């Protein structure tokens, strides 16, 4: 379990920028440090615990990149066609033991090992097979053409994948190409998820006014599962300080992180703050982000706690900018900042300077072929349709105050936020 000090989330400033929040998370959260070995087919989505050092080179031997004819470049005429006999044939997976003295070309196929002394391959499309089996090779091909030298991809002994990488199918391929059957990955983080609110019932229970179904808990659990966490669904907590404190204290014993949503504002019915003060320590983070509002950060018996706002869109955004980096940091990964892609705004927008805002938007290809972002037509941090019916978020950074249609804006597809 992560053992954090009670004051690790303290922050001097009044309103914290998104970048300050990310820097604080990166600097104050220490990884849990536990790892396990998993078969490569279970490594997708996990965090690599130790550098993967290449036990072999990739490719392991010099080979042909095309189907064609291997030659010694020194035998070619510089400014004229060269005619050579063909003295052998090497298919992929076949032995390349060819007598090296022959002044001939060798028929070779993609992936076949280059014969000793041969350094260049003509593509079969560029070669004319003439009378008596001679091949006519045009002039001008550079030495080393169409050859994949041993180690050009990965050198033996180099770091093929650094510790902290979040493994994707391409990493699984690289591990397999290096002959690995298993990888050391960070242990799954045990995350406790609660919702808070007297108005909430779970799907499957009876819902009638003034109750609503709890949706945040399921969104948060789904997002945490994508991050490779072991998620414990701890249900709904009532807006009552003592029972909240008891539930949080008990969850801190056997989890690496506790996440709640709702009840973190400063209203009379918001008891997360008080409960946290009773069972641990609390820091309010007023992050200059919209949708967002305050996020409660805290520590309960050394276990980090994050209390997200209740409105679903606010909960979603703060999950992305607070929970996700915290989860990755606890698993020993420093996520690279996600880079928004430039698209053309098809909307007007006015905003406060100094605050980061995210507009939910759909992409379309305009008549002139340029990709445009169309803003979701309705406002409201409570609208789940605004998240479901859009493709991602337009990031409106702190310095922006106004966007006119036609301006270039940064777009983040939802897929890169999980």
Nearer to ligand AMP, 17 or 265 (CB): 265
Matching residue, tokens 């789940």: 384
Q: Which residues contact 267 (CB under 8 A, 6 or more apart)?
A: none
How many other CB atoms are found less than 10 A from the CB of residue 338? 14
Shortest Å, Cβ 18 to ligand AMP: 20
Of the ranges 114-122, 197-205, 280-288, 388-396, which one interacts with ligand AMP (CB under 6 A)?
A: 197-205
32-61 residues in contact with ligand AMP (CB under 6 A) are: none
Residues lying near Mg ion in the complex (CB under 5 A): 197, 262-263, 310
Q: How far apart are CA 2 and CA 7, in angstroms?
A: 14
199 part of the interface to ligand AMP, by CB under 6 A: yes
260 part of the interface to ligand AMP, by CB under 6 A: no
156-195 residues in contact with ligand AMP (CB under 6 A) are: 195
The helix or strand, by DSSP H or E, that contains position 173, with its residue range, turns out to be: helix 169-177
Shortest Å, Cβ 300 to ligand AMP: 20
Nearer to ligand AMP, 261 or 283 (CB): 261
The strand pair at 128-129 and 82-84 is best described as unpaired
Shortest Å, Cβ 227 to ligand AMP: 19
* Residue 378 CB-density burial (10 A; 0-12 exposed, 13-18 middle, 19+ buried): exposed
The CB-based long-range contact list for 109-117 (8 Å cut-off, 24+ gap) reads: 109/64, 109/67, 110/64, 110/65, 110/66, 110/67, 111/63, 111/64, 112/63, 112/64, 113/61, 113/62, 113/63, 114/61, 114/62, 114/63, 114/64, 114/70, 114/147, 115/70, 115/88, 115/90, 117/72
Shortest Å, Cβ 413 to Mg ion: 31
**64 binds, options ligand AMP, Mg ion, none, Cβ within 5 to 8 A by partner type:** none
Q: How far apart are CA 186 and CA 36, in angstroms?
A: 6
Shortest Å, Cβ 239 to Mg ion: 6
Shortest Å, Cβ 197 to Mg ion: 4
Q: What is the DSSP letter of 401?
A: -
110 part of the interface to ligand AMP, by CB under 6 A: no
Quick note: the x/- pattern for ligand AMP over 276-315, rule CB under 6 A, is ---------------------------------xxxx---
**200 binds, options ligand AMP, Mg ion, none, Cβ within 5 to 8 A by partner type:** ligand AMP
Q: How far apart are CA 314 and CA 381, in angstroms?
A: 6
197 part of the interface to ligand AMP, by CB under 6 A: yes
Nearer to Mg ion, 239 or 372 (CB): 239
Please select the residue that binds ligand AMP; options are 217, 355, 356, 360, rule is CB under 6 A.
217
What is the token pair recorded at 93?
């997976």
How many other CB atoms are found less than 10 A from the CB of residue 408? 11
Nearer to ligand AMP, 69 or 284 (CB): 284
Shortest Å, Cβ 378 to ligand AMP: 16
Please select the residue that binds ligand AMP; options are 265, 335, 383, 397, rule is CB under 6 A.
265
**Nearest partner of 315 among 400, 193, 203, judged by Cα:** 193
Nearer to ligand AMP, 217 or 375 (CB): 217
Q: What is the DSSP letter of 265?
A: S
**228 binds, options ligand AMP, Mg ion, none, Cβ within 5 to 8 A by partner type:** none
**Nearest partner of 416 among 356, 339, 342, judged by Cα:** 339
The strand pair at 341-345 and 408-413 is best described as antiparallel
263 part of the interface to ligand AMP, by CB under 6 A: yes
**217 binds, options Mg ion, ligand AMP, none, Cβ within 5 to 8 A by partner type:** ligand AMP
Shortest Å, Cβ 417 to ligand AMP: 19
Residues at the contact surface with ligand AMP, assessed by CB under 6 A:
195, 197, 199-200, 212, 214-217, 261-263, 265, 309-312, 382
């Amino acid at each position: 379990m992560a053992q954090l000090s009670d004051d690790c989330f303290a922050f001097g400033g009044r309103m914290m920028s998104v970048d300050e929040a990310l820097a604080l998370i990166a600097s104050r959260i220490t990884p849990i440090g536990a790892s396990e070995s998993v078969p490569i087919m279970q490594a997708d989505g996990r965090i690599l615990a130790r550098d993967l050092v290449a036990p072999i080179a990739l490719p392991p031997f010099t080979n042909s990149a095309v189907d064609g004819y291997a030659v010694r470049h020194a035998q070619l005429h510089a400014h004229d066609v060269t005619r050579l006999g063909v003295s052998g044939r090497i298919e992929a997976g076949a032995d390349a033991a060819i007598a090296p003295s022959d002044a001939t070309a060798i028929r070779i196929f993609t992936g076949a090992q280059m014969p000793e002394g041969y350094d260049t391959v003509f593509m079969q499309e560029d070669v004319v097979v003439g009378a008596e089996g001679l091949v006519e090779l045009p002039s001008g091909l550079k030495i080393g053409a169409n050859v994949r030298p041993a180690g050009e991809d990965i050198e033996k002994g180099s770091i093929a994948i650094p510790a902290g990488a979040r493994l994707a199918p391409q990493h699984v391929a690289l591990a397999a190409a290096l002959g690995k059957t298993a990888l050391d990955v960070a242990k799954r983080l045990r995350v406790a998820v609660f919702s808070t609110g007297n108005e909430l019932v779970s799907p499957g229970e009876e819902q009638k006014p003034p109750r609503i179904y709890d949706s945040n808990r399921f969104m948060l659990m789904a997002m945490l599962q994508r991050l490779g966490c072991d998620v414990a669904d701890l249900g709904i907590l009532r807006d009552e300080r003592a029972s909240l404190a008891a539930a949080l204290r008990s969850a801190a014993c056997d989890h690496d992180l506790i996440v709640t949503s709702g009840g973190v504002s400063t209203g009379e019915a918001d008891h997360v703050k008080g409960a946290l003060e009773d069972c641990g320590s609390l820091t309010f983070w007023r992050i200059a982000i919209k949708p967002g509002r305050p996020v409660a950060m805290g520590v309960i018996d050394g276990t980090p706690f994050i209390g997200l706002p209740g409105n679903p869109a606010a909960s979603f955004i703060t999950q992305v900018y607070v929970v996700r980096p915290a989860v990755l940091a606890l698993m020993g990964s420093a996520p690279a900042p996600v880079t928004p892609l430039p698209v053309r705004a098809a909307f007007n927008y006015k905003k406060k300077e100094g605050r980061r805002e995210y507009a939910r938007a759909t992409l379309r290809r305009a008549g002139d072929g340029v990709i445009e972002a169309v803003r979701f037509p309705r406002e409201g941090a409570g609208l789940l349709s605004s998240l479901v019916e859009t493709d991602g978020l337009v990031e409106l950074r702190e310095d922006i105050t106004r966007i006119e249609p036609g301006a270039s804006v940064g777009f983040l597809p939802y897929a890169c936020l999980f």
